[in-house]
Structure 1
Amino acid sequence: MQRVLVLDKNRQPLMPCHPARARQLLRRGKAAVFRRFPFTIILKDRESGVTQPTVLKLDPGSNTTGLALVADFARRGKVLVWAAELRHRGAAIRKALADRRAHRRFRRFKLRYRPARFNNRTRPSGWLAPSLQHRVDTTMTWVQRLMRWTPVTSLSQELVRFDTQAMQNPEISGVEYQQGTLFGYEVREYLLEKWVRKCAYCDAENVPLTIDHIHPRSKGGSNRVSNLTLACFPCNQRKGNRDVAEFLDRDPKRLARIEAQRRAPLQDAAAVNSIRWALWRNLVATGLDVEVGTGGRTKRNRSQQQYPKEHWIDAACVGESGANVRLDPFHKPLAIQAMGHGERQRARLNRYGFPRGYKLRARSYLGFRTGDVVFCAKPKIEVFAGRVAIRFRPSFVVTGADRKVESHPKYLSMIQKGDGYAYA
């Protein structure tokens, strides 16, 4: 069960408590709600307290990063006390930059007398593309927040998705290499990411998948990762030792797709590999001890403990410290979606990239800003909580978990000011 974060009266973090205990403190007036998301209470009359070693564990991803707080209790061992999944908006940033670049190029094509500016720009050492830097910044934002709200004593990060050193570069044909205890986990995790956890021959999901040689070894195929794919057991049996071209002679489209995908790079893995050291340097700069691990070790820890595949579970199983963690597989983590704080662009552009109007500079109206979490008590509908999008007239849009309504601001009451994230 998701624990409630606790602060003492001086806003110093204490150990998270059970929700029933938090309700009891709130009823008795000994605590007040400090923050709704993540739910945090502040004690009114208590100062300091005993805390246990707590590790904040991270499973960085291209689209979603898993966060887990694991406390080491003397009697109960390592127990998961809080978890979340942070969804990034790197793809949206990349699309916005691509649109801006297209508009800029079109305008310069129409106005050739303008001098070129690309030679004036320089990039500092360690520069990352904005969509990649966003992943580092949002992850570090939540690391810093959790360090303020929980007694974090150390950090743990999955530093590399695939340990190519442990795999000994399997792309080199004809060379045998030492197969350590993590070898199978590294290769299998690589294939699961590359083939999107589906059977390459029938697109079956959520079934046991086996590793299959695209070109059989009996006909000259190798053990290189580029010659491996995933297949469900029935497809693997039907294919046998036939070449993929012979097996899929009646399905040329699927054959072409497999041949293209086996050579394709892993875009998401490339994004994670690009940010891993930048994130690691930021974690080290916090001054806490930082443990690192590989994706193969995470998968082995999760498999040996028979936990399902989830981002927050992967975070709890990162590194050597994730080999024996007690958690409830049905635990519901906090879903955090990065939404941003609006945009700096003031001009509204037409289809050709030229200004057709300008946005108001004001960011709030009648005490509300886009992104605020509010209660909507509009007449004739059930009261619900949602995220508000303001207009510069008394008609706002409130988006809840299952509805989207327009409402006058007088029917809205504030729950939490917008901080650039949406919660569920």
Structure 2
Amino acid sequence: MLGSSERYLAVLPNPDLHIEVGKFDMAKMVNPDISGKQYQEGSLKDWKNYKYYVLARDEYTCQLCHKHGEGVKLVVHHIVYRSQGGTDRVDNLITLCTNCHTTKNHQPGGKLYKWMKAKKKVTKQLKGSTFMNILRKRIMTTFPEASFQYGSQTYVDRKNLLLPKGHFMDAIAISGIKPVGQMPETVTMISQFRKKKRSLHEATARKGRKQPNTSSKRN
């Protein structure tokens, strides 16, 4: 994000920079029932923020049938049903598509019912949210002139603009534009990739090589 934003600023004349960032209350995510004044207005107070975290953690992919992409409608499911005492802890939440999130699967013998009885574990941890908290602070420090907003606001803005779901549509909503007179016909993307190998073991030539593999080349 930092490198891409800097590249945009280098090639565009006097742009307005709008950036969507993520903010996660780690203690609240582990224990939604935590109390105390410092948590009363936490960043995950609203359900929408839990939902966005879980979708991102699961890479916007149904964890049952593994479908993803355009046309796949996703929901956030409680592994242990709320009716059975399930909490809003993120380790009790998982991403499903609407084809899998059915009444049949919720009932005894169904796949989701079996998950609940087995108390299915979510193996992905909270490292991503910790990284996003750190990155958010770095971005705000690096680009003090930028306008920032969170994903829950982007969701509302996109709905108000009557735009379909999609990364490009989110970018339009993040821009702060009010009416959309004409949809863009082209999109500019910057991809960042490593040009040189940095692994220490690459300093020594592998078997069959005469020279160390200091570039990105592979066998």
Deviations 1:250-291 (A, max 9, x none): xxxxx79x6243x52353x5444332222222212xxxx332
Tell me by how many angstroms 1:294 deviates. Answer: 1.1
Q: Is it true that 1:280 corresponds to 2:140 in the alignment?
A: yes
- Residue aligning to 2:66: 203
Q: Structure 2 counterpart of 1:199, which letter?
A: C
Matches within 5 A, 1:13-162: 60=1, 136-146=2-12, 150-152=13-15, 154-158=16-20, 160-162=21-23
Q: 1:264 aligns with which of 101, 108, 125?
A: 125
Aligned residue for 1:337, secondary structure, equals coil
What SS does the aligned partner of 1:259 have? coil
Contact 1:161 1:295 in 2 (8 A): yes
CA contact (8 A) 2:154 2:173 kept: yes
CA distance in 2, matches of 1:266, 1:331: 37
Pair 214,299 (structure 1): closer, same or farther in 2 beyond 3 Å: same
Whether contact under 8 Å (1:302, 1:314) holds in the other structure is yes
Report the residue type matching 1:189 in the other structure. Answer: Y
* Corresponding residue to 2:114 among 247, 251, 259: 247
Give 1:417's aligned residue. none
Distance 1:246 1:283, change over 3 A: closer
Q: Residue 337 of structure 1 corresponds to which residue in structure 2?
A: 191
- Paired residues in the alignment total 201
Are 2:159 and 1:303 equivalent residues in the alignment?
yes
CA contact (8 A) 2:23 2:132 kept: no
Q: CA deviation at 1:192?
A: 1.3
**Alpha-carbon distance in 1 for matches of 2:206, 2:29:** 48
Aligned residue for 1:333, secondary structure, equals: coil
Whole-angstrom distance in 2 between the partners of 1:292 and 1:322: 10
1:191 is aligned to 2:54:
yes
How much has 1:231 moved relative to structure 2?
2.3
Cα–Cα, structure 1 residues 234 and 340, in superposed 2: closer, same or farther, change >3 Å? closer
CA contact (8 A) 2:28 2:34 kept: no
Decide whether aligned partners of structure 1 residues 203 and 344 sit closer, same or farther in structure 2, where only a CA change above 3 A counts.
Answer: closer
Counterparts of 1:358 and 1:229, CA distance in 2: 44
Q: Does the 8 Å CA contact 2:23/2:136 hold for their aligned counterparts?
A: no
RMSD: 4.0
Measured in 2, the distance between the counterparts of 1:189 and 1:358 equals: 44
Cα displacement (A) at 1:164: 3.4
Q: For 2:72 and 2:191, locate their aligned partners in 1 and report how far apart those are by CA, in whole Å.
A: 29
Q: For residue 47 of structure 2, what is the amino acid of its counterpart?
A: G
Q: Distance in 2 between matches of 1:324 and 1:175?
A: 38
Residue 344 of structure 1 deviates from its aligned partner by: 9.5
Is 1:155–1:290's contact at 8 Å kept on the other side of the alignment?
yes
Q: Is the 8 A contact 1:308 1:329 kept in 2?
A: no
Between stretches 213-222 and 195-204, larger displacement belongs to 195-204
Residue pairs, 1:383-422, within 5 angstroms: none
Q: Which protein, 1 or 2, shows the higher relative CO under an 8 Å CA cutoff with sep ≥ 6?
A: 2
One-letter code aligned to 1:313: M
**Shift in Å, 1:329:** 5.0
Q: Unpaired segments of 5 or more residues in structure 1?
A: 1-59, 61-135, 250-254, 360-424
- Superposition deviation, residue 358 in structure 1: 7.3
The structure with more helix, counted as a fraction of residues = 2
Query: Given that residues 163 and 295 in structure 1 are in contact (C-alpha distance below 8 angstroms), is that contact kept between their aligned partners in structure 2?
Result: no
Indicate the structure (1 or 2) with the bigger Cα radius of gyration: 1
Q: Secondary structure at the match of 2:100?
A: helix
Say if 2:205 is the partner of 1:350. yes
Equivalence for 2:217? none
Residues in 2 aligned to 1:343 and 1:227: alpha-carbon distance in whole angstroms: 39
Contact 1:307 1:329 in 2 (8 A): no
CA distance change for structure 1 residues 270 and 308 in 2, over 3 Å: closer, same or farther? farther
Task: Return the structure number with greater strand share.
Answer: 1
Q: CA deviation at 1:215?
A: 0.5
Q: Which amino acid aligns with 1:304?
A: N
